[in-house]
Amino acid sequence: MTKNLIITIILGLTFSRVVHSQISQSFKISKNDWGKNYRLIGYAKANDSLTVEFLTAQRTIDKKFIKDKSPKNETEKTSTEWVKFLLTGKIQKKCESLVIWIWCGKNMKEFNLDDVSLEIGKDGEWNRVEIKNGDFEIDSDSIGKIPNWKVFTNYAITNDKSEKHSGRQSIRLVQNDLARYGAFKEHGNVVKVNGVDIYYEIYGQGEPLLLLHGNNESIGSFSNQIDEFKKHYKVIAVDSRGQGNSTIDKQKMTYDLLASDMNRLLDRLKIDSINILGWSDGGNTGLIMALNYPSKVKSLITMGANLYPNKKAVKKKFLREYRWTVRLVKVFALFKPKKWSIKLRVAKMPLKHPHIEPSDLKNINIPVLIMAGENDVINQEHTELIAKSVKKSKLVILKGLTHYAPQEDSKYFNSEVYKFLNDIGKNKSF
């Protein structure tokens, strides 16, 4: 699970949640192919210019990810004509399966994809590997499903017989709202607080609910929550400083600073008191807001929060892997300093912060829902400590889920949030 999570973090840092549409497929790799090269090819077109990304990951027989030392991503922007996309790399030792993903940017409204193929070879001799329905010739029986492919929900996907690179059809991906959260300019705005521009989007009507995302994430990571909670609440989703569409300055990155940003934002929006849902870094920020600005927080929901940045709170193995991830980001920053130096500053924050004493939490006098995945990177004893330290708290451990529970099983996660908020509305005690 930990290496799965690290891969997710690296992909998240790499794309900063600017990629939303995804289809994927995995297939077996023979031991005879270890050390050989591979090339993944596909064709895309769109009326507007956009970038499609092809990604791969290699796994061992026990599903552990292998560090791929030699991937090379060669992408071009689409056009009204079919454009060829190419990803090359090398099959690593002990690779038992190769997973491929195809992504597109969240600002992209619609595009067509066709003829995805994989070849493995050595010394210029290439052999085709079967990708099931890689030519998309098998008809889908419903919108959003493509036979033999795993499809994520940000786009409606259908067969398109009017456009094809070859054969009789391609697939067409049409953006829905889930893909646009975080880039929905009609709902977005920017406000200057504490010397930086903070970007936010507002949806729905009713009691306000503030959504605070995790490290090096953005509004888009809460897509499934926005889509659901906007039906009953006035959802205010925010990009924290240095992330998403918000800017950064030279101030030291701390959760206290992020909490101050949110306090100022609420002042600018003329909101006296608000419910907060914070995930990971956002949960830490929410706890500090409840401590530093108690009148502003009506209720608080934290997912995967922690009080201090060490093995007492965070699993030792994850900390070790995360430090490796930060070192990798530091290397990236040498080549693209403008982009990666900001990501590095954000990524380093959880290694140094927060520093909250459990005894401090006794000063929080609002209802608080403390959540974590059963397989979270936060030690369960630590999550329990947080819950025990808050007077009016409710503890929920999400069975079978990880630190990424809001995305892994949004229905389960959202139902627990709803239950809590409804209980508050009925003045139930905790």
Q: At 322, phi and psi to the nearest 5?
A: -70, -40
12 pLDDT above the threshold of 70: no
Tokens for 201, please give them: 């989007």
Smallest Cα–Cα separation from 386: which of 241, 283, 234, 255?
A: 283
Task: Could you list the beta-strand ranges (E) of 262-392.
Answer: 274-279, 297-303, 368-373
Phi, psi angles (nearest 5°) of residue 227: -60, -30
Choose which CATH entry (3.40.50.1820, 3.30.565.10, 3.40.630.40, 3.40.718.10) describes domain 181-425.
3.40.50.1820
Q: Does residue 430 carry a pLDDT above 50?
A: yes
Q: Which of 15-29, 35-49, 228-242, 406-420 has the lowest mean pLDDT?
A: 15-29
Helix (H, G, I), strand (E, B) or coil at 319: helix
Q: Which residue has the higher pLDDT, 245 or 140?
A: 245
CATH tag for 2-6+19-176 (out of 2.40.50, 2.60.120, 1.10.10, 3.30.70): 2.60.120
What percentage of the chain carries pLDDT values higher than 90?
Answer: 63
For the chain, which residues make up each domain, given as ranges?
Answer: 2-6+19-176, 181-425
Q: What would the DSSP string read from start to end of 148-184?
A: TSEE-TTEEEEEESS--SSTT-EEEEEE-HHHHTTS-
CA neighbor of 315 nearest in space, from 390, 402, 398: 402
Please report the pLDDT score of residue 17 as a whole number.
39
Fill in the amino acid letter for 194.
Answer: N
Confidence at residue 57, expressed as pLDDT on a 0 to 100 scale: 85
The model's pLDDT over 321-369, given as tens digits with 9 standing for 90+, comes to: 899 889 888 887 887 788 889 999 999 999 999 999 999 999 999 999 9
The residue ranges of DSSP E strands in 93-232, in sequence order, are 97-105, 110-122, 125-129, 150-151, 155-160, 170-175, 188-193, 196-203, 208-212
Helix (H) or strand (E) holding 195: none
> Please, what's the largest Cα pairwise distance for the chain?
71
Helix (H, G, I), strand (E, B) or coil at 420: helix
* CA–CA distance, 355 with 347 (Å, rounded to integer): 17
In sequence order, what are the residues at sequence separation of 6 or more whose Cβ sits closer than 8 angstroms to the Cβ of residue 265?
A: 191, 193, 198, 200, 238
Confidence tier at 163 by pLDDT (50, 70, 90):
very high
